[in-house]
A and B are shown apart, each in its own frame.
Chain A
Amino acid sequence: MTKLFEAPLYPYKRCADQGAGKPVRHPVIVIGAGPVGLAMAIDLAQADIPVVVLDDNEKVSTGSRAICFSKRTLEILDRLGCGDEMVRKGVVWNAGRVFFGDRQVYDFNLLPEEGHKRPAFINLQQYYCELYLVERIRALQVAGKPVELRGGNKVVGLERRDDHTALTVRTMEGDYDLEADWLIACDGAGSPARRMLGLEFQGRVFEDNFLIADVIMKADFPTERWFWFDPPFNRDQSALLHKQPDGVWRIDLQLGWHIDKEEEKKPENVIPRLKQMLGEGVDFDLEWVSVYSFQCCRMEKFRHGRVIFAGDSAHQVSPFGARGANSGFQDVDNLGWKLKLILSGKAPETLIESYDFERERAADENILQSTRSTDFITPKSEISRIFRDAVLDLSEHHAFARPMVNSGRLSVPATYDGSPLNGPDASGLPARTRPGSPPVDAPINGTWLLDAMGHDFMLLGLGIEVPPLTELLGLPVKGITLSGEEIGPDLRTRYLGEAGEAVYLIRPDQHVAARWRKLDWTEITGALSVALGREGEI
């Protein structure tokens, strides 16, 4: 059987640009067809912004790689038109066990908060995620949307010019040149774009190696997350076992920094370890083994003029907490609407500066969380090991110690506190939905708040009537009014609290821009202007 990740999905094909005589100029070129680049292309193409994706490969990613997709990612993928596919295929889990040394210290059930369309997270191999994104691009192409995916196109040269970037692209039929008004580098942690532009990946916080194995269990095994601290089969390190679709189980063994990667990967070294981990008598096949090395760091600036970095090319964190791919989707979500408005002349170019502010903060938050997890999992000093072990020992007997057990804090979307795009806040409304906050879903009228939102700025009137559609500053602004019985308990707790009514201005990425306790069009127009980055205009 050919594995999904062995089949060429977007093989090289000659394109018209290759014989054009002079370099063809495109409004947006994306380098890299990983999850981030593909999502970026979909977001722009859906809004009729022409976009070309270049990738040196022609297949989805090999092996499972990122496997845990958070609720926010699923919500973003809903907006991009492939959330259902992800959730249908993905595994939802809530139960897990924590082991310390050779014993189980506790088990848990996460009992996620109710009243959200999407689960807190699903487990799914990265190659499925990429497959659904590619299929979505194909569907957009059929619908006549301006998106191209060019496999076997390797970017080998980049040169920044005044208002564009010149690219040299290598194919099996030779090199050709292109020009991009905007270049989005989604070319992964090793980012050749970063190197070609002479930019550094700075501030290495820490680095580590993981042995990653996908195994197919031959018999039933529970759908749980198992995490080991300092197990006998991987002393002083951690281990993780996770369920994926198709009967595939994912195993992550932390290896530390000074190791021999080739040696660790050999089946004769891997299999005995896995046997020790899973217990004798558990039959399995090894589908894929790899050593994943990462450095926890970020670029100092994610944007250099009209060259923008998103996803792993801009920031990298440890796999604890699944912040890699998930934060990349949030980069796209943040960037998409800003580019669309700038390219269509509806917002000044200065709007893009808020991408740096908002996503660099988010990267710092991810690095902080990732560092804390790593410090707990691999204590850096004698005393920190003493406390870590004390927490784990206590967790066996007492619930109070369990929230301190840190095997990775699952990715939650960043709140853009202090963002230059934030407008006024009103007192007395819940902190959870303050300006800058990611949206919090809630059931409304038999559907979901997030499904009702769309891709434009939006007014949400709770107990205050807002027009279903209006035009402000040359932009369409959709309105949703809910009142009386329509405001259910979840919506009330999340958006009103003790207040009787409120108006929210929501950005196209669904983050809250501003909110009030009454309807005031001057205020709303002012906040919209701020959210469009027009305040910075001279």
Chain B
Amino acid sequence: MADIVTTANLQEPDAFYADLVAAHDGLSKDESDAYNARLILLMANQIGDHVILKKLLQEAQRTSRKA
């Protein structure tokens, strides 16, 4: 059974974080929202596996502050 990775897995955590924030430089709120949506969709397609995607959706929900 496929499982999601929640241990450190990014090769370059600092660099990725900086790139992610920098990608939004100069974007309006609407443009940022649209950018995020495109990014999520691209990443989802990269993952592909429906079970993994479902688990990721749930995990993001579980870790919200309200939960």
User: Measured between C-beta atoms, what is the minimum distance from B55 to chain A in Å?
Assistant: 19
A391→B33 contact, CB < 8 A: no
A390→B38 contact, CB < 8 A: yes
User: Measured between C-beta atoms, what is the minimum distance from B30 to chain A in Å?
Assistant: 8
Q: Which of B37-51 contact A (CB under 8 A)?
A: 37-38, 40-42, 45
B42→A394 contact, CB < 8 A: yes
Complex Cα–Cα for A386 and B35 (A): 9
Q: Which DSSP category, helix, strand, loop or mixed, fits chain A's interface? A: helix
A400→B34 contact, CB < 8 A: no
Interface 0/1 of A369-383, CB less than 8 Å to B: 000000000000001
Q: Is A387 an interface residue (CB 8 A)?
A: yes
User: Measured between C-beta atoms, what is the minimum distance from A497 to chain B in Å?
Assistant: 22
User: Measured between C-beta atoms, what is the minimum distance from A58 to chain B in Å?
Assistant: 52
Q: Is A95 an interface residue (CB 8 A)?
A: no
Complex Cα–Cα for A289 and B15 (A): 59
Q: Is A114 an interface residue (CB 8 A)?
A: no
Complex Cα–Cα for A391 and B42 (A): 10
Closest to B37 in A: A390
B41→A389 contact, CB < 8 A: no
Within 8 Å by CB of B33, from A386, A393, A400, lies: A386
We find that the number of chain A residues with CB closer than 8 angstroms to chain B is: 11
User: Measured between C-beta atoms, what is the minimum distance from A352 to chain B in Å?
Assistant: 38
Q: Residues of A contacting B37 with CB < 8 Å?
A: 386-387, 389-390
Closest to A401 in B: B41
Central interface residue in B33, B37, B40, B42, by most chain A CB within 10 Å:
B37
Q: Residues of B contacting A400 with CB < 8 Å?
A: 45
Q: Residues of A contacting B41 with CB < 8 Å?
A: 387, 390-391, 394, 401, 404
Q: Which of B8-63 contact A (CB under 8 A)?
A: 33-34, 37-38, 40-42, 45
Complex Cα–Cα for A315 and B49 (A): 34
Q: Residues of A contacting B33 with CB < 8 Å?
A: 383, 386
Complex Cα–Cα for A401 and B42 (A): 8
Closest to A399 in B: B45
Closest to B30 in A: A386
Central interface residue in A387, A390, A391, by most chain B CB within 10 Å:
A390
Q: Which of A393-430 contact B (CB under 8 A)?
A: 393-394, 400-401, 404
Complex Cα–Cα for A225 and B2 (A): 40
User: Measured between C-beta atoms, what is the minimum distance from A230 to chain B in Å?
Assistant: 14
Complex Cα–Cα for A132 and B38 (A): 48
B42→A386 contact, CB < 8 A: no
Complex Cα–Cα for A34 and B37 (A): 45
B45→A393 contact, CB < 8 A: no
Q: Residues of B contacting A393 with CB < 8 Å?
A: 34, 38
User: Measured between C-beta atoms, what is the minimum distance from A240 to chain B in Å?
Assistant: 24
Complex Cα–Cα for A391 and B39 (A): 10
Closest to B46 in A: A400
Complex Cα–Cα for A400 and B42 (A): 9
User: Measured between C-beta atoms, what is the minimum distance from B38 to chain A in Å?
Assistant: 5
User: Measured between C-beta atoms, what is the minimum distance from B20 to chain A in Å?
Assistant: 17
Q: Residues of B contacting A386 with CB < 8 Å?
A: 33-34, 37
Q: Residues of B contacting A394 with CB < 8 Å?
A: 38, 41-42
Complex Cα–Cα for A404 and B41 (A): 10
Closest to A397 in B: B38
Closest to B45 in A: A400
User: Measured between C-beta atoms, what is the minimum distance from B50 to chain A in Å?
Assistant: 13
User: Measured between C-beta atoms, what is the minimum distance from A259 to chain B in Å?
Assistant: 28
User: Measured between C-beta atoms, what is the minimum distance from A47 to chain B in Å?
Assistant: 44
User: Measured between C-beta atoms, what is the minimum distance from B67 to chain A in Å?
Assistant: 18
Q: Residues of B contacting A389 with CB < 8 Å?
A: 34, 37
Complex Cα–Cα for A404 and B34 (A): 16
Q: Residues of A contacting B45 with CB < 8 Å?
A: 400-401
Complex Cα–Cα for A400 and B40 (A): 13
User: Measured between C-beta atoms, what is the minimum distance from A254 to chain B in Å?
Assistant: 23
Q: Residues of A contacting B38 with CB < 8 Å?
A: 390, 393-394
Complex Cα–Cα for A401 and B39 (A): 12
Closest to A382 in B: B33
User: Measured between C-beta atoms, what is the minimum distance from B31 to chain A in Å?
Assistant: 11
Interface 0/1 of A84-111, CB less than 8 Å to B: 0000000000000000000000000000
User: Measured between C-beta atoms, what is the minimum distance from B29 to chain A in Å?
Assistant: 11
User: Measured between C-beta atoms, what is the minimum distance from A398 to chain B in Å?
Assistant: 8
Complex Cα–Cα for A68 and B33 (A): 37
User: Measured between C-beta atoms, what is the minimum distance from B37 to chain A in Å?
Assistant: 3
User: Measured between C-beta atoms, what is the minimum distance from B34 to chain A in Å?
Assistant: 6
Closest to A404 in B: B41
Closest to A393 in B: B38
Q: Residues of B contacting A387 with CB < 8 Å?
A: 37, 40-41
Interface 0/1 of A114-133, CB less than 8 Å to B: 00000000000000000000
- Given A386-B37, A394-B41, output 11 extra A-B contacts at Cβ < 8 Å: A386-B34, A387-B40, A389-B37, A390-B37, A390-B38, A390-B40, A391-B41, A393-B34, A394-B38, A394-B42, A404-B41
* Closest A-B pairs by Cβ, 10 of them: A390-B37, A400-B45, A390-B38, A386-B37, A386-B33, A387-B37, A390-B41, A394-B38, A394-B41, A390-B34
8 contacts between A and B (CB under 8 A): A387-B41, A389-B34, A389-B37, A390-B37, A390-B40, A393-B34, A393-B38, A394-B42
